[in-house]
Structure 1
Amino acid sequence: MNEPEILSATPHAVAADSVLRQLASRSEGLGHEEIAARRQQYGANRLPTQAPPNWAQRFLRQFRDPLIYVLLAAFVVTLLLGHLLDSAVILAVLLINALIGTLQEGKAENALAAIRKILRLQAKVRRAGEWQNVDAEKLVPGDIVQLRSGDRVPADLRILSAQGLRVDESLLTGESLPSDKSPVPVEADAALGDRHSMLYAGTFVQAGRAVAVVTAIAAQTELGKIQGLLQETNTLQTPLIRQMQRFSKTLALLVLVLSTVMAGIGLARQLLPPFEVFLAVISFAVAAIPEGLPAILSITLAIGVERMARRQVIARHLHAIETLGAVTVICTDKTGTLTRNEMFARGLRTHASWYEASGTGYAPQGELAGAEAGDKARFAALEVASVANDTQLRQEGGNWQIIGEPTEGALRALSAKAGFPGEGYRRLASIPFESAHKLMAVLTERPDGQRRILLKGAPDRVLARCGSMLDADGSSLPIDIPFWERENQYLASQGLRVLALARRDVDGQQQESLDLDSLGQNFTLLALVGIVDPPRPEAITAISDCRRAGIQVKMITGDHAGTALAIAREMGLVAGGESQVLTGTELDRIAPDDLPAVALRTQVFARTSPEHKLRLVEALQTRGQVVAMTGDGVNDAPALKRADVGIAMGARGSEAAKEAADLVLVDDNFASIARAVAEGRAIYDNLRKAILFILPTNGAQGLVLLAAIIAGLQLPLTPLQILWVNLVIAVTLALALAFEPAEPAIMERPPRNPAESFLDWRFLLRVALVSVSIGGATMATFYAELSAGMPAELARSMAVTTLVLSQALYLFNVRHLQGSAWRRSTLFSNPIAWIALGVLLLLQLALLYLPPLQRVFQTVPLQPRHWGLALLIAVAVFFLVELEKRLLRKVA
């Protein structure tokens, strides 16, 4: 039994018979003993799996947070003290927060599962001289596999023979057009998309047939390597999570220190019984910690999800919405995202003139305009485009689609726009397009009975068969090769895929067949046609918007460098004079230490592999950039997972890409990304507003209790009253901030620095000012009522009402972080805020006037003078904050 040698690392660059020899295989296939031995050696053709964390493990992970630790301690202590209502409220907050986090996890495992499904298929394999169908999992290196149109490639294969083979490799390369395949070796350093002698697992045979030998299975395939990258790639924490963790640790430490100080002073001075001191300390911890904040953050992000959906963006991960607001670089694919993913014939170049096509996509609507209306070569070229064509156009639901090849669909639409009839032709024979000869020829009988060979293909192959060219008046001239070569080069430099169109009349009625050997020379060149996947006009505008917002946009594509650069210029990604584009091969030559600087200054990357995309994302992140990455193929999954925001295509994206991504574009349109960035910035602003609103509430309550316990005074608020204020404020007023519209000119400002805390000096100044103002007013109200001889229940009811009304008016301060709250244009821009204010007042009235609530919360009804005084204090706090904002605007 032959043992396989060590297979060359570049089977695409080695002759097919040499690969067979290295694999100790042969054309009749492996024998049964060889198969058994290799299965033992290599294992099954199945991507490896690992057990994901179960639901319980993910749930318990949600409690690893300093603030959560403090709340858990408060829950245990209140439970031991018999304060069951306090304990129940704290526990409910903890459980809701943990459930939300649990549901958000697990996306990486789902992405891996989506990749593994790709290899679950059948394969036709030759073993011991007989063809048989087997599960793809049973393939081994050296197996001989047969493929035909419609098959999915079951493993990595080296082509032994092929006929008209075209393979859709967009899954791995992102390239929109199918790749022509043949057994001919290619260069050893060829990019993945240029390895025309190889077939890769998971790709799709679009046309033709082939016989190939298995070179790699399971984890050794290109698809398996992507899975390995995905498993090794760590998801970065979002800027908000990093900031919230820093904030949580700081606040938890501060609460613990102050609680210890309070307990020490209270017990040392013995102004209150030890039990009351201990209860006051617990009340302080509950008051100072914004337990409603996690829920408000999650609700604000959830509302953002709904807003994003209206903008054609589906959010799979809540925190990604906020991260969009911090994005500094967007790495985007070309095909279908920046472009329409529809081939469009931009025009014809005859010897006499250039004819520009109008319209969009495959729709046969528009015209073909040029200077020479009577150009005979124009009509003749349209005849070739229409008749030497196997693709049909059809309209479905108002959209024009093709049945066949995209390039031929573009030619069909071009002919229809120009009004070429196309009826009455009878095809007698044809030579189909193959990568080996790069042309298609059709022997046809015209409506007048004249027989003619119509030829289209790569310009170099067609020009080599032409001895003349057709002039505008219909006369034949000797072909001007330099002229056509210059025109071909010019069109190619514009990012166009160029085809040459030619014809030759056939004398008599004898010729009934056509083959490559008898095709011959002496064709008459008619025209060149330029075809392109055109840019989306709205994407051009969106790129301009992103640049004004301080966001770099970089194109990372599997397409060729020339095409990528031409589209980049048209999109405004690079200036007209710039020509820098880096290919995957060139990236491989750059030292790792130099890559971040190169990645930052380069806008276009072509012929890239999954490893290149991942390396570019990581390189940009090392420079402190917040990176959004778009993708649609399995090859994009590792980079999507690694990026700060992974954005998958919804219409044409693979399931693996969608599962690895944070966001999914329903319409595959770059313009939707720009709109989502604006929404992300608005959501971050609303989160800041919610935090800036909630913290002074807790700060005021904590300050009241801290001052009372240190001074040994009667507590102005009970623990249940504190929880009441926290809950009603969070449920009503804080929630209203989630519905705030975007601030003016939100896309005119640069991205925020993700390293900076949202607790800047302005933020802290506001929290301190409002906490002291509201806390001081609450204490003053309580002790003033006590000194006037009022019962403690009335004084506390007055204190709670003062606290609630002050927070209610402070809501309108915080709706605008820097601007005035009195702007008429925005005062009523958020009706939810006014509804929340009404609900809050109803709840406060219920607290004071409904007997059941009076008994639970120890409150009593207030007199009109109490309401008037509380409202007067709230108005004073409102104007104090507006004065602070005005002074800070002058300082700025």
Structure 2
Amino acid sequence: MTEHEAGMERNWHASEHQDVAQMLDSPVGGLSGEEAARREREYGPNRLAPPKRRGPLRRLLAQFHNILLYVMLGAALVTALLGHWVDTAVLLAAVVLNAIIGFIQEGKAESALDAIRAMLSPRATVLRGGTRMEIDAAGLVPGDRVLLASGDRVPADLRLVAVKELRVEEAALTGESVPVEKAAARVAVDAPLGDRLCMAYSGTLVVYGQAEGVVVATGAATELGRINHMLDSIGLSSTPLLRQIDRFGRALAVVILGAAAATFAFGTLLREHSAGEMFLMAVALTASAIPEGLPAIMTVTLALGVQRMARKQAIIRRLPAVETLGSVTVICSDKTGTLTRNEMTVQRMVCAGHVFDVGGVGYAPVGDFSVDGRIVEPVHYPALELALRIGVLCNDARMRQDEGAWWVEGDPTEGALLVAGDKGGFSVHAAEVAWPRLDSVPFESEHRFMATWHRDADGESWIFVKGAPERVFEMCDAQLDGHGERPLDIDYWRRMATDTAAQGLRLLALAAKRAAPRGEGLGFADCEEGFVLVALVGIIDPPREEAIRAVAECHRAGIRVKMITGDHAETARAIGAQLAIGVGRPAITGAEVAVMDDAELRRVVMDVDVFARASPEHKLRLVQALQDSGQVVAMTGDGVNDAPALKRADVGIAMGRKGAEAAKESADMVLADDNFATIAAAVREGRAVYDNLKKFVLFMLPTNGGQTLVVIAAILFELTLPLTPAQVLWVNMVTSTCLGLALAFEPAEGNIMRRHPRPPGEALLSGFFVWRVALVSVLMMTGALGLFLWELSLGTSVETARTMAVNAIVVSEMFYLINSRHVFSPALSREGLFGNRYVLVAIAACLPLQLAYTHAPALQAVFHSASLTPLEWSKVLGAGLLVFVGAELEKWVIRRRGAFGSRALPHG
């Protein structure tokens, strides 16, 4: 750790700014040019160093380290040994294509780090040698004096020494939903990042006011640099499906190689066949067992899921994330802009004697005022009417409508007051014309209020005030109710303030004085006393209505939803209650998370659903703790502070409209509409994708199993081989893949969002699936081998008998494809037979291929097939019906006995 990085460990926010300046040897007039150059040589430039990256060749080669590609390479090796170079070329092309796609996706992922570096300010205004100058922000050093103004991006981490009405937008770094009012006074040593009011952090945006600060950290030592380092240190993790496929592929490889070795040894040692003949037999066995079509079908199924999700506003950036969504057990969501609208809204106005609820959400000026559920008109309540007027006039924000959407320019809290006034009939323009502003006292942190001077239509002067309740209370000696002015009942107002704050609402007090300033303009002396308290205003960033429904749907689907936010605990609890998140459970803060060790955090994380004041490190630790507890975690967010957790989660989900580029680049999925409800739709699609992949596996394995049993039976009983290796590859690569592709288009089952998520460690094949595969494999083997031996006993040529065996397997696949659409439901229904038109299209496409295999002279020369008579075709059809009837009988028995249902896919 460098001296500068060690300095970051100092609690600059807890030190007086004079002490900070002394520790960093920062004179009032700024560093000299020579000293700044010396420190730049010592500390390095104020920029985030690019991470160490693998070269293009290493990245490309790493893409081949994948069990799916190993399977395809194994299939390519088999076809090459058999001399089928066209098949080999196709397989190798698929391998290379998969590797290129992965290479491109990994390159995109690295741009997340570039997006964070792009947040650094390119220029900075500093004092150097007593002179104000603008320099390249990369030249800033610890001890520099930086001047901030509205619109500036903070160029480094600063300890503020002088502040004038400074408000900084820190949402990207802390998750705080409104700009933070800054001050120069030190804060407690244990204050979380969002409460360090005397600090301005690199990458945040000044939205109002001016300030001077001393640079305490640059480059990698800033808070932004720490996030960049966390992001760089997080590797891309595998997905549940890829882990399942990896385990499945390894087990299958062991079984195949073991069976091939045993077959070779059996034939050469016990049956005394030649080694060359048994090697070809072992190759045929290997070819029949390898699921060559699995990688291709998996890619197609995931790609189709990507297209369907895109139509629902969910943009998938990494292909395996499609299926991972379907296995999610916990969704960790940011609050601001994700579960909430990121539009501050007045929800409550407390006057003397009445509490008014304000309807509507967001910046659209639509909503009613009500008392105890009864809609009222503000004009009938003088205190409410005056409060709305104060909120509109004592205000520097502006509203505008753009393409049907309402926007606020300025402070979001002031924007909420404008919207409330518009709902009550006080438009900004009309109010300003009728009550023009003559002067104002701007908001300053040390005073905690804003005041404006107006003249009404009768020429009488008014002074309006809005600010922190406890400060405004001190300025008031009366209150306004329906009967006029009355002495101030301070206990009532404090009680109502406590009650309103307990609901998670931010509080403002509004007051008025019918008087003119003592001098020519309005000053602080005119605002010290004599005011009439008019109202308390409760403001909150409300939850999205669609998010409330989506959270409920996730709960029904057995998915826990946790809210992890940088906002205050009271606000987080209130929003969580409205969303049905964490109801009846405790909420904990980032400070509490920080003192827990990993073991304790794993114990706590599943019992708590609301985490407040969470820093990037806290969010990352929470995601890791959930994953260590065996959960599959989706993390949503929109800020730079969310980027490390987004990258670490099994599925990172970023907001497309309001999200920072660093968050989008770190995510696996981007919500084009910033709508939490889209996540529920994506989970539904992900579950459907996984169902369809398992249906394909359940369809494919019996095909391979049937062929394998045919070859093994022929070797054990010294029969003529019913299938040649070339014929096995025809069945696997042409017909099985063509037919199985139709299952990628299966619609989602009706009960798909009423199931609980599948266990993260679940095997690809359950005990029931093994049983189904074994049963159908035996049925296929019985039909194909029985037909082959029957024809040989009738004196039919080997070529014709083999052709009938191949066609028996293919026709059995066609019938079994219809069986496979539903794991338990019968196929003999209108929906079962015609519910997926692609199944019928696949069968229709496969029939001419098989007819060409059987009757085309060119294919007869390649595969040694022979033409069949109508009678022989009818026998082939009978073999297929054997599989169809057998599979349907098994389903019927299972439905009657209720067996296996809870351990397999719960399809209807």
Matched, 1:553 2:551: no
Q: What per-residue deviation string (whole Å, max 9, x for no partner) do you get for residues 767-825 of structure 1?
A: 11111211232122223222322222222221121111101111111111222223434
Instruction: Name the CA shift for 1:283/1:100 in 2 (closer, same or farther; >3 Å).
Output: farther
Tell me the residue number matched to 1:494: 503
Aligned with 1:331: secondary structure?
strand
Q: What per-residue deviation string (whole Å, max 9, x for no partner) do you get for residues 385-413 of structure 1?
A: 11112222221111111122211111111
Instruction: Name the CA shift for 1:324/1:69 in 2 (closer, same or farther; >3 Å).
Output: closer
Aligned with 2:539: secondary structure?
strand
Matched, 1:188 2:189: yes
Q: Which amino acid aligns with 1:440?
A: M
Aligned with 1:293: secondary structure?
helix
Tell me the residue number matched to 2:906: none
Give how far 1:93 is off. 3.8
Give how far 1:225 is off. 0.8
- Aligned to 2:844, which of 838, 846, 857? 838
Give how far 1:104 is off. 3.6
Q: What per-residue deviation string (whole Å, max 9, x for no partner) do you get for residues 492-544 of structure 1?
A: 1111112111111125x975411223322110111111111111122112111
Which stretch of structure 1 is more off in the superposition, 90-99 or 217-226?
A: 90-99
Tell me the residue number matched to 2:528: 520
Q: Which amino acid aligns with 1:560?
A: H
Q: Is the 8 A contact 2:585 2:607 kept in 1?
A: no
Q: Is the 8 A contact 1:104 1:318 kept in 2?
A: no
Tell me the residue number matched to 2:283: 282
Alpha-carbon distance in 2 for matches of 1:882, 1:859: 31
Matched, 1:529 2:537: yes
Q: Which amino acid aligns with 1:549?
A: A
Give how far 1:424 is off. 2.0
Matches within 5 A, 1:742-821: 742-821=748-827
Aligned with 2:297: secondary structure?
helix
Q: Which amino acid aligns with 1:312?
A: Q
Q: Is the 8 A contact 2:585 2:609 kept in 1?
A: no
Tell me the residue number matched to 2:357: 356
- Counting aligned pairs with the same residue, the percent is 49
Give how far 1:102 is off. 3.1
- Aligned to 2:669, which of 663, 668, 673? 663
Q: What per-residue deviation string (whole Å, max 9, x for no partner) do you get for residues 120-163 of structure 1?
A: 61111221222222222221111111111111111111111111
- Aligned to 1:455, which of 440, 465, 489? 465
Q: What per-residue deviation string (whole Å, max 9, x for no partner) do you get for residues 668-698 of structure 1?
A: 2221112211221111111111111111111
Give how far 1:99 is off. 3.4
Q: Is the 8 A contact 2:68 2:295 kept in 1?
A: no
Alpha-carbon distance in 1 for matches of 2:77, 2:585: 66
Tell me the residue number matched to 2:438: 428
Instruction: Name the CA shift for 1:827/1:522 in 2 (closer, same or farther; >3 Å).
Output: farther
Tell me the residue number matched to 1:25: 26
Tell me the residue number matched to 1:642: 648
Structure-2-length-normalised TM-score:
0.94
Q: What per-residue deviation string (whole Å, max 9, x for no partner) do you get for residues 280-309 of structure 1?
A: 322322221111101111111111111111
Q: What per-residue deviation string (whole Å, max 9, x for no partner) do you get for residues 540-562 of structure 1?
A: 12111211221111111000011
Q: What per-residue deviation string (whole Å, max 9, x for no partner) do you get for residues 189-232 of structure 1?
A: 00000001011111111111111111011111111111121222
Instruction: Name the CA shift for 1:74/1:244 in 2 (closer, same or farther; >3 Å).
Output: closer
Give how far 1:85 is off. 3.2
Q: Is the 8 A contact 1:6 1:22 kept in 2?
A: no
Give how far 1:107 is off. 5.0
Q: Is the 8 A contact 1:345 1:529 kept in 2?
A: yes
Total equivalences in the alignment: 886
Matched, 1:720 2:726: yes
Instruction: Name the CA shift for 1:166/1:94 in 2 (closer, same or farther; >3 Å).
Output: same
Alpha-carbon distance in 2 for matches of 1:391, 1:120: 26
Aligned with 2:408: secondary structure?
strand
Q: What per-residue deviation string (whole Å, max 9, x for no partner) do you get for residues 424-468 of structure 1?
A: 221110112222222111111122211111111111111110111
Matched, 1:868 2:874: yes
Q: Is the 8 A contact 1:328 1:551 kept in 2?
A: yes
Alpha-carbon distance in 2 for matches of 1:165, 1:322: 47
Matches within 5 A, 1:274-423: 274-370=275-371, 374-420=380-426, 421-422=430-431, 423=433
Q: Which amino acid aligns with 1:524?
A: V
Q: Is the 8 A contact 1:468 1:523 kept in 2?
A: yes
Aligned with 1:63: secondary structure?
coil
Give how far 1:864 is off. 1.5
Aligned with 1:441: secondary structure?
strand
Q: Is the 8 A contact 2:395 2:414 kept in 1?
A: yes
Which stretch of structure 1 is more off in the superposition, 819-828 or 643-652?
A: 819-828
Give how far 1:347 is off. 3.1
Instruction: Name the CA shift for 1:809/1:222 in 2 (closer, same or farther; >3 Å).
Output: same
Alpha-carbon distance in 1 for matches of 2:667, 2:175: 16
Alpha-carbon distance in 2 for matches of 1:186, 1:680: 47
Alpha-carbon distance in 2 for matches of 1:563, 1:84: 66
Give how far 1:10 is off. 0.5
Matched, 1:605 2:592: no
Tell me the residue number matched to 1:164: 165
Alpha-carbon distance in 2 for matches of 1:23, 1:442: 41
Instruction: Name the CA shift for 1:266/1:601 in 2 (closer, same or farther; >3 Å).
Output: same
Matched, 1:878 2:887: no
Aligned with 2:422: secondary structure?
helix
Instruction: Name the CA shift for 1:817/1:841 in 2 (closer, same or farther; >3 Å).
Output: same
Aligned with 1:593: secondary structure?
helix
Aligned with 2:674: secondary structure?
coil
Instruction: Name the CA shift for 1:735/1:72 in 2 (closer, same or farther; >3 Å).
Output: closer
Tell me the residue number matched to 1:675: 681
Alpha-carbon distance in 2 for matches of 1:647, 1:871: 50
Instruction: Name the CA shift for 1:579/1:460 in 2 (closer, same or farther; >3 Å).
Output: farther
Which stretch of structure 1 is more off in the superposition, 168-177 or 347-356?
A: 347-356
Aligned with 1:750: secondary structure?
coil
Give how far 1:105 is off. 2.8
Aligned with 2:811: secondary structure?
helix
Alpha-carbon distance in 1 for matches of 2:443, 2:124: 26
Q: What is the CA RMSD across the aligned residues, in angstroms?
A: 2.1
Q: Which amino acid aligns with 1:426?
A: P
Instruction: Name the CA shift for 1:592/1:856 in 2 (closer, same or farther; >3 Å).
Output: same
Alpha-carbon distance in 1 for matches of 2:79, 2:585: 68
Q: Which amino acid aligns with 2:676?
A: F
Alpha-carbon distance in 2 for matches of 1:588, 1:483: 39
Aligned with 1:167: secondary structure?
strand
Alpha-carbon distance in 1 for matches of 2:169, 2:588: 24
Matched, 1:590 2:600: no
Q: Is the 8 A contact 2:167 2:206 kept in 1?
A: yes
Tell me the residue number matched to 2:904: none
Give 5+ residue unaligned stretches, structure 2: 901-908
Instruction: Name the CA shift for 1:368/1:593 in 2 (closer, same or farther; >3 Å).
Output: same
Instruction: Name the CA shift for 1:189/1:274 in 2 (closer, same or farther; >3 Å).
Output: same
Tell me the residue number matched to 1:90: 91
